[in-house]
Amino acid sequence: MFYLVSGSQAVFQDLSKNLILGGELDAQTTSSITQSALVGSHAFLWSGNNNGRMDYSGQYSLTSASSSNVSGTVDFNQAGSPGSNDTFSGTLAVSGDGTGRNKLSLTATNPSGSFSFAAFVVDADTILLVSTDQNDVLAGKSSRQF
């Protein structure tokens, strides 16, 4: 089942027995996305499983179109153990015209760890994220802060 939110967004929910699945559909911009178009402050939320349920929310700043261009903080709940204000840094690499698969790589300081995501740019304000790490099942969204 899906619900049309607007002409460019829908949400869906699978109603199959013994299956829990839901998500959103977003219309992607038809023009190229450059890395410099994404520069600014963003909020994010991603959740999933890494040796227990994990939920993350935070903010990051994309400071430039060059390498080592992402820094921010994250709050998390790892299987019932919360943490806050963990700092991280990394890179967002935009490939080709930016409308395909891009890469977000982050390294956190406390607790230490790294995260790799396939980053799909919807438009200059929205990025959908899915983990590419072997042991993580994480997905989420990043939205520009105005």
- pLDDT of res. 51: 67
In a domain, 1, yes or no: no
Domain that holds residue 116: 36-144
In a domain, 122, yes or no: yes
In a domain, 125, yes or no: yes
In a domain, 98, yes or no: yes
The CATH number for 101's domain is 2.40.128.120
In a domain, 46, yes or no: yes
d(CA 85, CA 59): 10
In a domain, 101, yes or no: yes
- pLDDT of res. 9: 85
- pLDDT of res. 50: 67
Give the angle subtended at the CA of 128 by the CAs of 19 and 142, to the nearest 5°: 120
In a domain, 3, yes or no: no
Q: How far is CA 133 from the centre of its chain?
A: 13
Count of the separate structural domains present in the chain: 1
In a domain, 123, yes or no: yes
Contacts of 47 by beta carbon, 8 Å cutoff, 6+ apart: 53, 54, 55, 56, 138, 139, 140
What is the residue-level pLDDT of the chain in tens, covering all 146 positions? 878 888 888 887 887 777 677 788 888 988 999 888 999 999 999 888 766 668 888 899 988 767 668 999 988 887 788 888 889 999 998 988 989 999 999 998 876 788 899 999 999 999 999 999 887 888 999 999 98
